[in-house]
């Protein structure tokens, strides 16, 4: 009987045990989110495959590094980006040439999806008509125009540096702006020109003129799949299903899907499901505009909450384990004080995205890199407050403990740490509250948390989605602060609670 039960359990678990996982990545703009969902859902429909979509991982460099490092298996890319930005080719290369160049990295490019999404510059139709601007070359006559470009475009080889040189444009380095916000900036008259993707849904809505690239600076940006070469062998059925996407998405269809996300408020998953259903002649169901409360307490709320809390408190735990001993060391060894405080202070000044980009090659993309970054940011308040709490203990109390004949470790454990406890706890509380906010950046490298909603909201210029991520993060920060205040009253003896803790940060 036991053998039969064991066999039954094995049979039940067999689909899970033998299911293989495909990890899909995407960049941080609407079209990439949608294509990532299409890839994931196509893979999920293949028997024996589970698929995960790490959406909005960041710019080209971060997502490409994730693919090379094995953190993801495939993501949607563009031929022109591969050619100019990643491989730095001076002459246009076809897919066969790109594959020869990518093969030593263990990567390949395949499955042209059927549309070209090139870069362009756009400005309000009315203003362009009044100034007689139709081409990129015409811009050279109007240096007074206000221009702002997406951050990635500003630094790409096939972006602003090359474009300015090719057309001898008389503009200084433009301001950087998030792509999702640039249309609003043009509509409000804050800027005159910005970079766009030709499949953007908002071009017609905001009545923009797409300027002609009269010197053919931009290459073809045919949408393709960039993948790890072991994928077809590891998941042959899944790869065969993905190959069926070849040529299935026209430019008109891609613009319509972008519009569903940006203008109609549909979710990326719903849009992808509608597209795939349409391919088999099934009806596409409309996704009505969601209320703010529906977005706030959506199906992903508890998953994101769990991820965010885990990021904050796991990193905080390691911060306490390392930060308190470092603070003790700084307080007890005068020669170590300045180096320790300087190092943790410098770490705090490193921009969060820059630190993540540095950590990705070491720990790969996802939760490990995010935890290391948050741990490093947690150190300064804990180390500084531990050092301050121990240094501020009156010398008379230290001398009394010494006079009692207590050894160094006993003085620290029985006298000094209890006296400094409130200040140390204040540093831990400060670190925890800071980490709640800082943890939102984890979503930009696929580590989850409330930042996923913030990233989606920025990509869609959807304030409701953005607030559905920002408000829970703010509430969690308040709850963490309240929790530490309760812990302070519970742990710290009443006689020590009259002291004002140092809130060094």
- 74-117: pLDDT as tens digits: 999 999 999 988 999 988 888 999 999 999 999 999 999 999 99
Could you tell me if 330 and 271 lie in one domain? no
Top-ranked range on mean pLDDT: pick from 122-131, 177-186, 198-207: 122-131
Q: Is residue 215 part of a domain?
A: no
**Range 127-132 contact pairs with CB under 8 angstroms and sequence separation of 24 or more:** 127/192, 128/209, 128/211, 129/209
**How many angstroms separate the Cα of 32 from the Cα of each of 39, 150, 227, 287, 474?**
10, 16, 15, 20, 28
* pTM, entire model: 0.73
Mean pLDDT of the chain: 86
**Per-residue pLDDT, 401:** 64
Domain C-terminal end among 175, 210, 245: 210
Could you tell me if 420 and 488 lie in one domain? yes
CATH number at residue 441: 1.10.3720.10
Q: Mean pLDDT over residues 253-279, rounded?
A: 89
**Per-residue pLDDT, 56:** 84
Could you tell me if 315 and 270 lie in one domain? no
Could you tell me if 110 and 123 lie in one domain? no
Could you tell me if 339 and 377 lie in one domain? yes
CATH number at residue 189: 3.40.190.120
Residue 403's pLDDT band (cuts 50, 70, 90): low
Give the separation between CA 184 and CA 126, rounded to whole angstroms.
16
Q: At what angle do helices 30-44 and 268-279 cross, to 10 degrees?
A: 60
Give the separation between CA 377 and CA 389, rounded to whole angstroms.
20
Could you tell me if 36 and 151 lie in one domain? no
**Per-residue pLDDT, 2:** 42
Cβ burial, residue 247 (10 Å; 0-12/13-18/19+) = exposed
CATH number at residue 105: 3.40.190.10
Q: Is residue 7 part of a domain?
A: no
Could you tell me if 39 and 102 lie in one domain? yes
Could you tell me if 384 and 252 lie in one domain? no
Q: Is residue 501 part of a domain?
A: no
Domain C-terminal end among 287, 310, 344: 287
User: Pick from 143, 170, 173: which is nearest to 160 by CA?
Assistant: 173
Q: Is residue 74 part of a domain?
A: yes
| 138, pLDDT greater than 80 | yes
If one compares 281 and 404, the residue with the highest pLDDT of the two is 404
Structural domain total, the chain:
3
- Tokens 């140092």: give the residue: 502
Cβ burial, residue 476 (10 Å; 0-12/13-18/19+) = buried
Domain C-terminal end among 262, 287, 312: 287
Give the separation between CA 430 and CA 379, rounded to whole angstroms.
10
Could you tell me if 314 and 177 lie in one domain? no
Q: Is residue 450 part of a domain?
A: yes
Could you tell me if 238 and 350 lie in one domain? no
Could you tell me if 255 and 395 lie in one domain? no
| Residue range of the domain that includes 452 | 301-496
Could you tell me if 32 and 148 lie in one domain? no
């Amino acid at each position: 009987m036991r053998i039969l039960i064991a066999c039954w359990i094995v049979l039940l678990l067999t689909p899970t045990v033998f299911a293989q996982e495909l990890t899909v990545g995407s960049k941080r703009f609407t079209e990439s989110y949608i294509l990532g969902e299409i890839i994931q859902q196509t893979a999920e429909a293949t028997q024996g495959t589970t698929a995960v979509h790490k959406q909005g991982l960041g710019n080209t460099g971060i997502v490409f590094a994730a693919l090379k490092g094995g953190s993801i298996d495939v993501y949607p890319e563009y031929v022109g980006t591969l050619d100019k930005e990643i491989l730095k080719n001076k002459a246009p290369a076809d897919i066969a040439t790109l594959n020869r160049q990518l093969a030593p990295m263990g990567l390949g490019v395949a499955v042209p999806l059927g549309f070209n999404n090139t870069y362009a510059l756009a400005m309000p139709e009315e203003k362009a008509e009044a100034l007689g601007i139709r081409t990129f070359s015409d811009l050279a006559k109007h240096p007074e125009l206000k221009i702002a470009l997406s951050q990635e475009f500003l630094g790409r080889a096939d972006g602003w540096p090359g474009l300015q040189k090719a057309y001898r444009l008389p503009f200084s380095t433009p301001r950087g702006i998030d792509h999702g916000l640039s249309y609003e900036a043009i509509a409000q008259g804050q800027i005159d020109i910005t970079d766009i993707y030709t499949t953007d849904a908002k071009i017609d809505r905001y009545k923009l003129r797409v300027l002609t690239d009269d010197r053919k600076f931009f290459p073809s940006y045919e949408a393709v799949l960039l993948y790890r070469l072991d994928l077809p062998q590891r998941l042959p059925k899944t790869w065969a299903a993905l190959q069926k996407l070849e040529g299935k998405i026209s430019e008109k269809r891609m613009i319509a899907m972008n519009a569903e996300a940006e203008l109609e408020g549909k979710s990326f998953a719903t849009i992808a499901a509608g597209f795939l259903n349409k391919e088999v002649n099934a009806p596409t169901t409309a996704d009505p505009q969601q209320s703010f409360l529906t977005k706030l307490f959506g199906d992903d709320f508890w998953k994101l909450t769990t991820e965010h809390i885990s990021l904050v408190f796991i990193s905080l735990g390691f911060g306490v384990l390392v930060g308190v001993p470092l603070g003790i060391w700084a307080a007890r060894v005068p020669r170590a004080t300045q180096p320790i405080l300087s190092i943790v202070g410098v770490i705090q000044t490193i921009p969060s995205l820059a630190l993540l980009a540095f950590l990705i090659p070491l720990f790969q993309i996802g939760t490990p890199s995010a935890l290391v970054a948050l741990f490093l940011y947690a150190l300064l308040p804990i180390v500084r407050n531990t050092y301050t709490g121990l240094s501020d203990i009156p010398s008379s109390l230290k001398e009394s403990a010494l006079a009692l004949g207590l050894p160094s470790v006993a003085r620290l454990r029985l006298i000094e740490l209890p006296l400094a406890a409130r200040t140390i706890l204040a540093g831990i509380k400060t670190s925890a509250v800071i980490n709640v906010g800082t943890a939102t950046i984890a979503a930009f490298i696929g580590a989850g948390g409330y930042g996923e909603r913030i990233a989606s909201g920025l990509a869609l210029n959807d304030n409701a989605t953005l607030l559905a991520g920002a408000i829970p993060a703010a509430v969690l920060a308040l709850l963490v602060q309240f929790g530490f205040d309760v812990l302070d009253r519970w742990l710290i003896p009443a006689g020590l609670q009259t002291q004002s803790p140092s809130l060094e940060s």
